[in-house]
Amino acid sequence: MAMRAQQTDNRREIFIDFFLSCVYNVDTMARPSKQEKEIKEHPNVKGQVPPHSEEAEKALLCCMMTDENVPIELMSVVRSDDFYFRSHRLIYEAMSTVWNSNRPIDLVTVTQELDRMGALSEAGGAQYIAELSGYLPTSANFKAHAEIVRQDSRLRQLMAASNSVLEMCYAGSDALETLQYAEKAVSDVAENQGISALRPFDEAVSEAVSDFDALMRDPLAKRGLQTGFRGLDSLLGGLHGGDLVIIAARPGQGKTSIGMNIVENVATSHIVNGEPSKTAEPKVCAIFSLEMPASQLAKRMIAAAAGVDFSKLSKGELTGADDWKKIARARSALCMSRIFVDDTSLTTPMDILSKCRRLKREQKRLDLVMVDYLTLMSSGKRVENRQQDVSEISRTMKLAAKELDVPLLLLSQLSRGSEKEKRKPQMSDLRESGAIEQDADIIMFIYRPNAGEDTPDRDSAEIIIAKHRNGPLGTVKMRWIGEQVSFKDMDEPSAPAKAEETQSAPRTLSDDEEGEEEDPPFDPSAF
């Protein structure tokens, strides 16, 4: 009986081959043997082959031909490159062509398309296609088969990226260039987990209406990242992911200070009464300082957070116990924050992007990036003039903000025009301003009309919102506290509030509660 069944199967195969060869006039018997199916050893691991599953690939192709619902779900997810065997890649390409021409995917249409492509023999012949169509009795598990194929594909992509890096290393390529290539290659594999598909617009509309409803019920529900300045947050609605925020000013006007103030406020927003909140997740902030070393930034941030005189702190002239208590609280809060600093000079936008990618992977999140400042950057590409260089920097920074889905604060210098003419800065004062104006989502200027003058309002400052892609323009009144190298809201006291009353940055005692000048000599090592 077994022999008779085998003979029957043989006659069935011969008949199928004969029938299809008559229809398509091709040699259907040119099926690749198992040894010919591109199973090759990995060049760097003797005796091993790249990850693949012949069974999963066959099963997936079978489901594509036997269930009309499968192509609907998989055509935008699975690519031909995801298949390890060339024969299967060709078959899937033929299926894609058939599908895109609005024809059903089945044994006849796929075989006909392969014949038209001149690839029927290379794909295994008509009989192999017929065998695939009957490989599985059901298509119920097609998603599991697709996941196996895609997982193996990602592993092979990683192997290919690794091989490319090895080749660059052996070729003696520049180390920094090779490192950047390696980071980008791995990042591309990690981020390319799926192929973006078109979404019905009604889904986006429904999400928007839901957001509006949430805002009506709770104005804080959908707010952006809070800067810690009430006036700015009220006008901007917070900072949102993907925003490129330009903070521009003349030298000495405080652009680094306000940038650091925002970072400090964001990074310490989870600190409540000197302790980490049990409900608020600490936010991750990255600072790229091309102008100041990390130690100098730390000193400025401590002075601002503690509310002490920065010049006295730098000169070692602080002697009072109260001042050192403030510094101790500030140190504690900043040490509980998740701020990461890079003070490498000659940093390019691609350097920043690759480092931020790595930081986001390691920390599982990234909430805010600050770059100080644009004028000291180079695109790292050959350009004809500085304007093209700035254009490339601006474009890459915007793409980085969008890719990372974080607000990116980019500090920039203003030309001398506003200073000479003693007027408020405007868009044209941005150096090489064309590309910056176009790429930025928010542009804000720092204007201190009486800076350096001995007048009662010498500390007055205005933050001018000159561009706001998704909201109104306006001016926010603030105060510059030079001794603490920080900005304050207009109605906020010069000294920070008591630590018991804060929910963000570390605060200190009010002026009335501070110790007297006659404090005895104090040993800061006690703190």
- Give 94-121 pLDDT, tens digit per residue: 998 888 788 889 989 999 999 999 999 9
On the question of pLDDT at 329 being above 50, the answer is yes
422 part of a folded domain: yes
Q: Are residues 182 and 230 in the same domain?
A: no
What confidence tier does 340 reach under pLDDT thresholds 50, 70, 90?
Answer: very high
Q: Are residues 416 and 301 in the same domain?
A: yes
Q: Which residues pair with 244 in a beta bridge?
A: 408
Determine the pLDDT at residue 36.
41
Count of domains in the chain? Answer: 2
280 part of a folded domain: yes
Q: Are residues 176 and 307 in the same domain?
A: no
Q: Are residues 17 and 146 in the same domain?
A: yes
Determine the pLDDT at residue 515.
40
520 part of a folded domain: no
Q: Are residues 115 and 252 in the same domain?
A: no
What confidence tier does 470 reach under pLDDT thresholds 50, 70, 90?
Answer: confident
Q: Please calculate the CA angle 360-365-366 and round it to the nearest 5 degrees.
A: 70
What confidence tier does 13 reach under pLDDT thresholds 50, 70, 90?
Answer: low
Average pLDDT for residues 49-61, to the nearest whole number? 88
Determine the pLDDT at residue 193.
53
Q: Are residues 45 and 138 in the same domain?
A: yes
SS (HEC) of 197-254: CCCCHHHHHHHHHHHHHHHHHCCCCCCCECCCCHHHHHHHCCECCCCEEEEEECCCCC
Determine the pLDDT at residue 91.
92
Query: CA-CA distance, 241 to 402, in Å (whole number)?
Result: 7
506 part of a folded domain: no
Query: CA-CA distance, 267 to 2, in Å (whole number)?
Result: 75
The string of pLDDT tens digits covering residues 388-433 is 778 888 888 888 898 888 999 999 888 776 666 677 888 878 766 6
Average pLDDT for residues 45-70, to the nearest whole number? 83
Query: CA-CA distance, 480 to 453, in Å (whole number)?
Result: 13
On the question of pLDDT at 305 being above 60, the answer is yes
Q: Are residues 295 and 430 in the same domain?
A: yes
Q: Look over the chain and give the mean of its residue pLDDT values, rounded to a whole number.
A: 76
Amino acid of residue 260: M
SS (HEC) of 413-479: EECCHHHHHCCCCCHHHECCHHHHHHHCCEEEEEECCCCCCCCCCCCEEEEEEEEECCCCCEEEEEE
Contact 268, 504 (CB under 8 A): yes
Q: Which helix (H) or strand (E) is 512 found in, with range?
A: none
Domain end point (choices 191, 216, 236):
191
On the question of pLDDT at 364 being above 80, the answer is yes
On the question of pLDDT at 330 being above 70, the answer is yes
Determine the pLDDT at residue 504.
39
437 part of a folded domain: yes
Output the domain CATH number for residue 343. 3.40.50.300
Encode 471-490: b = buried (16+ Cβ within 10 Å), e = exposed: eeeebbebbbbeebbbbbbe
Domain with 282, as residue range(s), is: 224-493
Instruction: Please count the residues of the chain.
Output: 527
156 part of a folded domain: yes
Average pLDDT for residues 290-300, to the nearest whole number? 84
Minimum mean pLDDT range among 173-182, 200-209, 245-254, 491-500: 491-500
More confident residue, 300 or 28: 300
Q: Are residues 181 and 240 in the same domain?
A: no
Q: Are residues 241 and 154 in the same domain?
A: no
What confidence tier does 221 reach under pLDDT thresholds 50, 70, 90?
Answer: low
Query: CA-CA distance, 510 to 307, in Å (whole number)?
Result: 10
What confidence tier does 286 reach under pLDDT thresholds 50, 70, 90?
Answer: very high
57 part of a folded domain: yes
On the question of pLDDT at 79 being above 60, the answer is yes
Q: Are residues 162 and 254 in the same domain?
A: no
On the question of pLDDT at 516 being above 60, the answer is no
On the question of pLDDT at 170 being above 90, the answer is no
Q: Are residues 281 and 322 in the same domain?
A: yes
- Percentage of the chain lying above the pLDDT 70 cut: 76
Determine the pLDDT at residue 288.
92
Query: CA-CA distance, 134 to 58, in Å (whole number)?
Result: 10
Q: Are residues 228 and 79 in the same domain?
A: no
Minimum mean pLDDT range among 200-204, 263-267, 288-292, 511-515: 511-515
Determine the pLDDT at residue 326.
80
On the question of pLDDT at 386 being above 60, the answer is yes
245 part of a folded domain: yes
On the question of pLDDT at 88 being above 90, the answer is yes
Average pLDDT for residues 422-445, to the nearest whole number? 80
pTM of the model: 0.59
Determine the pLDDT at residue 418.
67
Estimate to the nearest angstrom the gap between the alpha carbon of 380 and the chain centroid.
20
Average pLDDT for residues 462-472, to the nearest whole number? 88
Amino acid of residue 180: Q
Output the domain CATH number for residue 24. 1.10.860.10
Minimum mean pLDDT range among 136-140, 186-190, 364-368, 370-374: 186-190
